[in-house]
Amino acid sequence: MTRAFPEDFLFGVATAAYQIEGAAFEDGRTASIWDAFARVPGAVLNADNGDVACDHYHRYPQDVALMKDLGLQVYRFSTSWSRVRPDGGPVNPAGIDFYSRLVDELLEADIMPWLTLHHWDMPQALEEKGGWTSRDTVDRFVEYALSVHDALGDRVQHWTTLNEPWCSSFLSYTAGAHAPGRYGVGDGMLAAHHLLLSHGRTVQALRERAPELSQGITLNLTVADAADPADPADVDAARRIDGQFNRWFLDPIFRGSYPADIVEDFRAVDPDAVARWEDAVQPGDLEAISTPLDALGVNYYHGEMLSGHPQGTGGTPHDGGDLARPVGNPFPSHEGIHWVERGLPRTGMDWEVQPEGLTRLLVRVAEEYAPGVALYVTENGAAYDDAVGEDGVVHDADRLAFLQAHLGASLDAIEQGVDLHGYFYWSLMDNYEWSWGYEKRFGIVRVDYDTLERTVKDSGAEYARIIAARAL
Ligand code: BGC
Ligand code: BGC
Q: Could you say which of 105, 164, 379, 462 is catalytic? A: 379
- pLDDT tens digits for 266-293? 999 999 999 999 999 999 999 999 999 9
Dihedral sign, CA of 419, 425, 428, 433? Answer: positive
Q: Could you read off the pLDDT of 164-194 as tens digits, one per residue?
A: 999 999 999 999 999 999 999 999 999 999 9
pLDDT in tens, 365-423: 999 999 899 999 999 999 999 999 999 999 999 999 999 999 999 999 999 999 999 99
Q: What is the pLDDT of residue 388?
A: 98
pLDDT (0 to 100) of residue 311: 80
| Rounded Cα distance, 252 and 232, in Å | 27
Residue 2 in domain = no
Ligand 2 neighbour 379 (Cβ under 6 A): yes
How many other C-beta atoms lie within 10 A of the C-beta of residue 359?
24
Measured CA distances, 394 to 18, 20, 62, 387, 447 (Å): 25, 20, 20, 6, 11
Q: Please check whether residue 128 lies inside any domain of the structure.
A: yes
379 is an active site residue: yes
Atom in ligand 1 nearest the alpha carbon of residue 434: 12
Q: Is 408 in the pocket of ligand 1 (CB under 6 A)?
A: no
- For the segment 131-160, the average pLDDT, to the nearest whole number, is 98
Expressed in angstroms and rounded, the spacing between residue 300 Cα and the centre of ligand 2 is 10
- 5 falls within a domain: no
411-451 pLDDT, tens digit per residue, is 999 999 999 999 999 999 999 999 999 999 999 999 999 99
Answer whether residue 276 is part of any domain. Answer: yes
Q: For residue 401, give Cα distances in angstroms to 143, 197, 242, 302, 347.
A: 43, 39, 28, 15, 12
CB distance 178 to ligand 1 below 6 Å: no
Give the Cα separation of 219 and 297 in Å (integer): 6
pLDDT at 229 over 80: yes
Beta bridge partners of 385: none
Neighbour count for residue 122 (Cβ, 10 Å): 26
Q: For 39-76, how does the pLDDT look when each residue is reduced to its tens digit (9 = 90+)?
A: 999 999 999 999 999 999 999 999 999 999 999 999 99
Position 4 in a domain: no
Tens digits of residue pLDDT in 235-255: 999 999 999 999 999 999 999
Residue 264 has pLDDT above 70, yes or no: yes
Provide the mean pLDDT of the chain.
96
Q: Is the pLDDT of residue 320 over 80?
A: no
- Report the atom number in ligand 2 closest to the C-alpha of 436: 12
Q: State in Å: Cα 318 to ligand 1 middle.
A: 5
> Is the overall model pTM greater than 0.95, yes or no?
yes
Q: Could you read off the pLDDT of 330-367 as tens digits, one per residue?
A: 887 777 899 999 999 999 999 999 999 999 999 999 99
Find the mean pLDDT for residues 70-96: 98
The parent domain of residue 282 ranges over 10-469
Q: Packing angle between helix 355-364 and helix 397-415, nearest 10 degrees?
A: 30
Q: Is 293 among the domain residues?
A: yes
CB neighbourhood size of 310 (10 A) = 9
- What average pLDDT does the segment 64-91 reach? 98
Q: What is the pLDDT of residue 312?
A: 67
Tell me, what's the pLDDT at 313? 67
Contact 167 CB / ligand 1 (< 6 Å): yes
Residue 274 lies in a domain: yes
Measured CA to CA, the distance from residue 366 to residue 364 in angstroms comes to 5
Ligand 2 atom nearest to CA at 164: 8
Task: Output the CA 1–ligand 2 centroid distance in Å.
Answer: 33
Ligand 2: residue of 45, 178, 319, 426 to mutate (most ligand atoms within 8 A of CB) is 426
Pocket test for ligand 2, best of 121, 379, 428 (most atoms within 8 A of CB): 379
Which residue type is seen at 452?
L
Total of domains in the chain: 1
What is the CATH number for 124?
Answer: 3.20.20.80
Ligand lying closest to the C-alpha of residue 425: 2
- What is the Cα–Cα distance from 379 to 218, expressed in whole angstroms? 9
> Any idea what DSSP says for residue 366?
I
Ligand 2: which atom is nearest the Cα of residue 163? 8
Which of 172, 163, 160 minimizes the C-alpha distance to 132? 172
Q: How far is the CA of 299 from the centre of ligand 1 (A)?
A: 10
In a domain, 131, yes or no: yes
ipTM for the complex?
0.86
